[in-house]
Amino acid sequence: MKILVTGGAGFIGSNFIKYILSHYPHYEIVNLDKLTYAGNLDNLSDIEDNQNYQFIKGDICDQKLVERIVEDKIDVIVNFAAETHVDRSIYDPKIFVETNVLGTQILLESALKFKTDIFIQISTDEVYGSLGKVGAFTESSPLLPNSPYSASKASADLLVRSYFKTFGLSAIITRCTNNYGPYQFPEKLIPLFITNALFSQELPIYGDGLYIRDWLYVEDHCKALDSVLHKGKIGEIYNISGSYEKTNLEITDLILKKLNQPKSLIKHVKDRPAHDRRYALDSSKIRNELGWKPDASFEEGIAKTVDWYIANQKWWQKIKTGEYLEYYQKHYVLREKM
């Protein structure tokens, strides 16, 4: 099987490539990635010489390039490529529409033209919007995105659905909850707080910190995608979740305890506009129909993740310089103005 992974130099994509090459060593992987600020070839240094792996630097919005790649006997496209940070989508929505919507349409068009066997769209629980204290979204819950990021992901989902309905494209959509684990860019809550806490820097909690996310260890997401790739039904949507719901303050406490750092590092800062209060997914469909379940408990996953960031300081210290620090300076100025 020859798989085109887009966005494979990012957090989940790089974990997925390594998962597939270790479980299916005879599969071929082509990784198409633009190497934005979030793309990092260091994530893949241990497999870069694998005969069945090829990296191509490029943009999913580049139709000619995408067609040239897909024409070369691609069986499956797994589309991870995206702009992924909610805060950045508030400051600069345009690139989110370009990559997440237009880029997905270009991939869909190539999949159709060259008759790929499966197109898997990696979507997110954020497309359903925010939940109150109880309940969980199912695959048939309405799409009510609240940020430019989630609106662009929901738009892409609707395009994928339309290519299935109108043109009969063999497509599947997966919607996963918040991931965490090795190689996550340190702008997202867990890696930002671990790497800040390691150097006794402040942990900026948005608002009251009682926002809830449903967390999944990244390897369990990769396993779920393995089930979808091999057993998923064309035209379906699969929610993926571990059902480990935590408030941001609970997570922060766990990180501080594990690193033996004081709670005084917590700083409550101005809230994110339209901040979704709670995410939770009902993932009984993938569990019952495809036999998937997560292996790592949240406590195991977070312990492994903290240990990974302690052991891999070179990886994230290389990131937390120049462009990264400039973004943070702008981020705090822009946030105060909102």
Where do contacts with ligand NAD occur on this chain (CB under 6 A)?
Answer: 6-7, 9-13, 32-36, 38-39, 59-61, 80-84, 99, 103, 122, 124, 153, 176, 178-179, 185
The region of 45-53, 121-129, 229-237, 306-314 touching ligand DAU under the rule CB under 6 A is 121-129
Which of ligand NAD, ligand DAU, none is residue 86 near (CB under 5 to 8 Å by kind)? ligand DAU
If one asks whether residue 126 binds ligand DAU (CB under 6 A), the answer comes out as yes
Q: How far is residue 18 from each of residues 43, 183, 219, 324, measured CA to CA in Å?
A: 10, 12, 10, 26
Q: Catalytic site residue 128?
A: no
Which of ligand NAD, ligand DAU, none is residue 35 near (CB under 5 to 8 Å by kind)? ligand NAD
Catalytic-labelled residue, pool 53, 149, 217, 279? 149
Q: Where are the alpha helices (DSSP H) in the chain?
A: 11-23, 63-71, 86-91, 94-96, 104-113, 148-167, 189-198, 218-231, 248-259, 284-290, 298-311, 313-319, 322-337
Catalytic-labelled residue, pool 83, 125, 220, 276? 125
Catalytic-labelled residue, pool 28, 33, 83, 126? 126
Q: Are strands 212-217 and 178-180 parallel, antiparallel or unpaired?
A: parallel
Identity of the residue, 188 or 223, whose beta carbon is nearer to ligand DAU in the bound complex: 188
Which of ligand DAU, ligand NAD, none is residue 258 near (CB under 5 to 8 Å by kind)? none
DSSP at 162? H
DSSP at 137? B
Point out the residue whose Cβ comes nearest to ligand DAU: 124
Contacts of ligand DAU in 265-284 (CB under 6 A): 272, 279
Which of ligand NAD, ligand DAU, none is residue 43 near (CB under 5 to 8 Å by kind)? none
DSSP letter string, 265-305: GEEEEPPPTT---B--B--HHHHHHH-----S-HHHHHHHH
DSSP letter string, 224-244: HHHHHHHHPPTT-EEEE---E
Which of ligand DAU, ligand NAD, none is residue 60 near (CB under 5 to 8 Å by kind)? ligand NAD
Q: Catalytic site residue 126?
A: yes
Give residues with Cβ within 8 angstroms of 257, minimum separation 6: none
What b/e string do you get for 138-152 counting C-beta neighbours within 10 Å, with b at 16 or more?
A: ebebebebbbbbbbb
Q: Catalytic site residue 157?
A: no
Give the active site residues: 125-126, 149
Residues lying near ligand DAU in the complex (CB under 6 A) are found at 84-86, 124-126, 177-178, 188-189, 192, 204-206, 211, 213, 248, 272, 279
